Amino acid sequence: MRFSKFSKAEQVTRPAVFKQSTLSWDLPGLVAGVDEAGRGPLAGPVVAAAVILDDLHPIKGLADSKVLTPRRREMLFDEIRAKALCCSIAQASVEEIEQLNILQATLLAMRRAVEGLRLKPMLVLVDGNRLPVLSMRAEAIVKGDALVSAISAASILAKVQRDHWCAEIDKAYPQYGFARHKGYGTAEHLAALKVYGACPLHRRTFRPVADILRELVA
């Protein structure tokens, strides 16, 4: 297996040739991309994904999940899971977000995603400017979801997984409109909070939720 050329953001020292059949848990040279979805919403978990792509099975059209249509994200979600060497999706719960704060909960979800990979990467490339605590080398890349294919793949997995969660939760709490706004603080969502208060899945430490709850008890 000859590795394809990387972008500048992905350039690392790697052996020139490997046979696909020799992959092992500690194979040097594997690079994982990591990204998250759900830091900004007012409800629900923050979701992270880690992906190690397979150079023998390239995936066309990988990009930052935010620039893709929902239909295209869904198609790539299935293709990434089918073609990647391995991938992992993890999350940090609302309770963990409340206890740790959203940044630390996000890093926790990222660490869980990396630890969930069945193959151990030599290097982990993380979107953004902060890194989770990991047992292997890691680098943070600002706007990495638009620069590094493995991070793009991770951003798609995390986004689609969280959107699926929102669609399911919408069935239990239809009055909030989670399937439409995905938990973000839209006018519709804030209006529903003022009428119905917060459900158990709302992040009560987030200012818009906290402010509305104070108004309701005042």
List pLDDT tens digits, range 70-94: 999 999 999 999 999 999 999 999 9
Detail the DSSP E strand segments found in 30-136. Answer: 31-37, 46-52, 86-92, 123-127
β-pairing verdict for 46-52 and 137-141: unpaired
User: Mean pLDDT over residues 121-125, rounded?
Assistant: 97
Mean pLDDT estimate for the chain = 89
46 forms bridges with which residues in the sheet?
92
- This prediction has a pTM of 0.85
- Token representation of residue 50: 């880690």
Please tell me the predicted confidence (pLDDT) of residue 138.
97
Does the pLDDT at position 4 exceed 90? Answer: no
User: Mean pLDDT over residues 11-16, rounded?
Assistant: 36
Phi-psi region of 6 (alpha: psi -120 to 50; beta: other; left: phi over 0): beta
CA angle 179, 184, 187 (to 5 degrees): 95
Please tell me the predicted confidence (pLDDT) of residue 127.
98
Nearest CA to 89 among 28, 23, 33, 139?
33
Give the Cα separation of 103 and 204 in Å (integer): 15
Taken in order of first residue, the domains within the chain and their CATH numbers are 8-174 (3.30.420.10)
Please tell me the predicted confidence (pLDDT) of residue 28.
62
Comparing 17-31, 104-118, 170-184, the range with the smallest average pLDDT is 17-31
User: Which residue has better confidence, 5 or 41?
Assistant: 41
Q: In what order do the strands lie in the sheet with 123-127?
A: 86-92, 46-52, 31-37, 123-127, 137-141
User: Mean pLDDT over residues 41-50, rounded?
Assistant: 98
Give the Cα separation of 190 and 96 in Å (integer): 23
Q: What kind and span of H or E run contains 112?
A: helix 102-115
Residue 1 banded pLDDT, cuts 50, 70, 90:
very low
